[in-house]
Chains A and B, each alone.
Chain A
Amino acid sequence: MFANSELRAQEVSAVGSNLLRIGAGTTDQGIGGIMRKRYLEEIANARIFFSNLTLGLRYEMDDPSEVGQSFQGLRRRWINYKKDNLDLTAGNVTSLYGRGLTINNFESRALNYDAWIDGISGSYEYKWNKNEFDFRPSLGVHAMAGVLTFVDITGTGVPDLGISARTVNGEFGVFGKKVLVGASFLQAFTTVSAISVGRTVETDREVNQPEIYVSFLQDEFTGHFQFTEMRQRLDQVRSKRDSASHIGKAMYGSLSYASEKLGLTVEYKNYQYNLYSPTNPYATYFSKLPLSSPPEVYQDFTYTSLTRSTHSVNFDDELGFQVEANITAIPDIVITLNAAASSRHNSFSGVDSTGKAIVKTTTDFLPKFSDDGLFPFWEYFAEVEYEFGSLSYIKGFFHRRSDFRATAAGVAGNPRIRNTTVGLKCQYETTPSQSLLITLEHQWSYDEDRTENKHQLTNELLIAQYSFNPGITFGGLLDYSTWYDANRHFWPQAFVSTRIGGSHTLLMSYGAERGGLNCTGGVCRVVPAFNGLRFTLTSQI
């Protein structure tokens, strides 16, 4: 479609991309100590367009991959037919309904998380024109069906989950979709086979999940509300066949105001896909399906110190909110304010006289901070940016966060982490084609996991880079912590990137990098520290 003439013949056109990543060095595996680390990944993407057909392909090779399981071959292949308002796809398919409370089967390649299904999907939309109805109604339907073998990346001991799913979604819009009402239904069958006490345990689950959502856009205001109910029935064969059922639910809402000088967004979540209780023997089997991925409802920060250890959302049991303001009322000054908080519904407080865990369930609408067993999380952030020159700026930020390093099915007594972080970032255009960028971050941290210095530690980060456009950017990064991992206080790194035409970038870095918790789409994985040489070549063809 967006084609090179070299690739076009008659009406065939193509577009593609290529990513080559190589690393050689060592990694800190925590308890496992320092180990040699080498990876090589090659990922080639192609889209071939012919008449109304599109062929999508992604080829992967690794030796081995940086994270997760190795894969060699065609990871993605699909064929798509589009004509007017009809859209049909067969092969690897993905969809998003509303805000993803029921269907948002996304992929995060950085984490090696993949919830695409192998199957078919199709959609059709009919729009009435203004002559027929003043309020311009539209009606759209979408359906998807297929199978997925889901590999859980959060633990090597978690067995693969076989999923067979079919979904249908309908959306009715008026005023050009400025008011939209949607409804979806998901039916899925899952199978998991695990070894327990030397015996294979087969667990089958049927999920029937209806949902509704409403969104609107009126002048400065936009809003969205979505609710789903996850009805489940489970059959498990141990020494005998057992059955259980569970109804989970999830709710999400957002309201936003946008004008030229003020933007204000409020989001609310109340996720109860599976309220964990240690008294329920089937508690771990009723979790949210990997096909769903609702909003996490906290800020995606761009500062390294704040992204190194982000909040890990427990979609099965978490409620909370986020408020963000963007203020541009004062010339040349941009102010961003953000606050987010959450806690769980269930907490456990010891055992009763029969030895059963005592479960306290809160029905509050807002997060509760008084009970550590509810894993309360809160953070607030303020950033002020002053712009001078076309792209020269200086900005400072202040951030505080309190969180618990909790396991998904955790119990009270998990370690608490509190951070206070301040930082400065400055970009100065020395000439119209050259610029200097400096970032300085300082973090005070209280971490109950770290026993030295009464759990107190500080982290410093300095990044400096200079760019000669359009060719080369080079710089260095110095990370320092009073805590040490792998006998290290300093993590120095140098990097250089260069562009070959506009279509290719080559990035090379050498030195040490701190690991951290990397979260994408609510999926979190601890990325181990790395020390060595990295090489990345990105191409858009």
Chain B
Amino acid sequence: MGLVGSYFKLTTMKYLGIVVLVLASLFIGSNASAHSDSVKVAENMKFNVQDVNGEENTFSHYLGKGPLLVNLWALWCEPCKQEMKAFIALSDKLKDKGVSMISINTDQVKSLAKVRAYVKTQGVKYPVLVDPDGSIARDQFAMESLPFSLILRPDGTIYKKHIGFTAGDEVQIEKELDELSTQLGSK
């Protein structure tokens, strides 16, 4: 009976823990667009990154005066390639609106040699960072699935997040970038 009681207690606690974690993630995630100017998050974003052309910078180098669209992708991920096409088509228009763009390739060693060739032939004009060891996607973003895109404010705080991609998502993302540009412009 004691054993059964212990098992029941453990199982109940386990399920209670899961419910709490899921509800917390739903609640916190849905409120992610809230913002405070009091924290200089960009100060913490000075970790080194490298792009496909071998150039090294700190991540904060890519934060400008307007929104920054960050797109995480991999060669094995078909929706990521579609999302990239959508962003390439948008890139000139967004640049005129003061939006900066970067993408982060998360392929591991298996596909690393092919990334630059793919990026060049697709006509990507914005910087493409490489992250074969997960030090950006995993350690800084706690990324759970691909494709994953973020809209960051100039101070590095998150304005919006997008998990997954289906054709048409780019319309929504462009709308959110316009909203943020307007907010930033009016300050």
Q: Please state if B164 and A265 are interface contacts (CB–CB under 8 Å).
A: no
In the complex, what residues of A have CB within 8 A of residue B123's CB?
260, 328
Output the least CB separation between A29 and chain B (Å): 25
Given contacts A15-B142, A263-B118, A505-B163, contact A300 B172 (CB under 8 A): no
Q: Please state if B109 and A104 are interface contacts (CB–CB under 8 Å).
A: yes
In the complex, what residues of B have CB within 8 A of residue A259's CB?
120-121
Q: Please state if A293 and B163 are interface contacts (CB–CB under 8 Å).
A: no
Q: Please state if A3 and B163 are interface contacts (CB–CB under 8 Å).
A: no
**Contact digits for B21-48, partner A, Cβ 8 Å, 1 yes 0 no:** 1101110111110111001010011011
Question: CA A522 – CA B110 in complex, angstroms?
Answer: 9
In the complex, what residues of A have CB within 8 A of residue B17's CB?
42, 61
Q: Please state if B160 and A502 are interface contacts (CB–CB under 8 Å).
A: yes
Report if B133 contacts A (CB, 8 A): yes
Report if A146 contacts B (CB, 8 A): no
Residue of A20, A220, A326, A469 touching B171 (CB-CB under 8 A): A469
B-facing residues in A168-217 (Cβ within 8 Å): 176-178, 217
In the complex, what residues of A have CB within 8 A of residue B48's CB?
85, 125
- Which size bracket describes the interface of B in this complex? 35 or more
Residue of B25, B28, B30, B56 touching A177 (CB-CB under 8 A): B56
Q: Please state if A505 and B29 are interface contacts (CB–CB under 8 Å).
A: no
Q: Which of the candidate stretches A45-53, A399-407, A445-453 sits at the interface with the other chain?
A: A45-53
Instruction: Report, nearest first, the 6 A-B pairs whose CB atoms are least far apart.
Output: A263-B117, A469-B168, A503-B29, A18-B25, A254-B113, A435-B167
Output the least CB separation between B47 and chain A (Å): 6
* Given A7-B28, A256-B117, A504-B29: 4 more A-B contacts, CB < 8 Å: A3-B39, A5-B36, A61-B14, A541-B32
Output the least CB separation between A210 and chain B (Å): 19
Q: Please state if A17 and B89 are interface contacts (CB–CB under 8 Å).
A: no
Residue among A4, A82, A125, A429 having the largest count of chain B Cβ atoms under 10 Å: A4
Q: Please state if B139 and A391 are interface contacts (CB–CB under 8 Å).
A: no
Question: CA A295 – CA B17 in complex, angstroms?
Answer: 39
Report if B183 contacts A (CB, 8 A): no
Given contacts A106-B108, A429-B168, A500-B30, contact A222 B161 (CB under 8 A): no
Report if B148 contacts A (CB, 8 A): yes
Question: CA A125 – CA B47 in complex, angstroms?
Answer: 12
Question: CA A454 – CA B120 in complex, angstroms?
Answer: 47
In the complex, what residues of B have CB within 8 A of residue A56's CB?
139
**Contact digits for A1-33, partner B, Cβ 8 Å, 1 yes 0 no:** 111111110010101111110000000000000
Report if A434 contacts B (CB, 8 A): yes
Output the least CB separation between B67 and chain A (Å): 14
Q: Please, which residue of chain A has its CB at the minimum distance from the CB of B114?
A: A265
Q: Please, which residue of chain A has its CB at the minimum distance from the CB of B11?
A: A63
Q: Please state if B29 and A433 are interface contacts (CB–CB under 8 Å).
A: no
Given contacts A18-B21, A82-B47, contact A499 B120 (CB under 8 A): no
26 example contacts (A-B, Cβ-Cβ < 8 A) are as follows A1-B41, A1-B140, A4-B31, A5-B39, A13-B39, A13-B44, A44-B25, A82-B47, A99-B112, A104-B108, A106-B108, A125-B48, A260-B120, A293-B109, A295-B109, A296-B110, A302-B76, A327-B121, A328-B123, A429-B167, A467-B167, A470-B168, A502-B162, A521-B108, A541-B25, A541-B32
Q: Please state if A2 and B140 are interface contacts (CB–CB under 8 Å).
A: yes
Count of A interface residues, CB-CB < 8 Å = 103
Q: Please, which residue of chain A has its CB at the minimum distance from the CB of B111?
A: A300
Query: Which label, helix, strand, loop or mixed, suits the secondary structure of the B interface?
Result: mixed
In the complex, what residues of B have CB within 8 A of residue A420's CB?
none
Q: Please state if B122 and A328 are interface contacts (CB–CB under 8 Å).
A: yes
Report if A441 contacts B (CB, 8 A): no
Q: Please state if B85 and A256 are interface contacts (CB–CB under 8 Å).
A: no
Output the least CB separation between B77 and chain A (Å): 8
Given contacts A19-B144, A20-B18, A96-B109, contact A435 B168 (CB under 8 A): yes
In the complex, what residues of A have CB within 8 A of residue B108's CB?
104, 106, 521
Question: CA A205 – CA B22 in complex, angstroms?
Answer: 45
A-facing residues in B80-125 (Cβ within 8 Å): 82, 85-86, 89, 108-114, 116-123
Report if A243 contacts B (CB, 8 A): no
In the complex, what residues of B have CB within 8 A of residue A538's CB?
144-145, 163
Output the least CB separation between A517 and chain B (Å): 16
Given contacts A17-B143, A469-B168, contact A5 B157 (CB under 8 A): yes
Q: Please state if A263 and B121 are interface contacts (CB–CB under 8 Å).
A: yes
In the complex, what residues of A have CB within 8 A of residue B157's CB?
2-3, 5
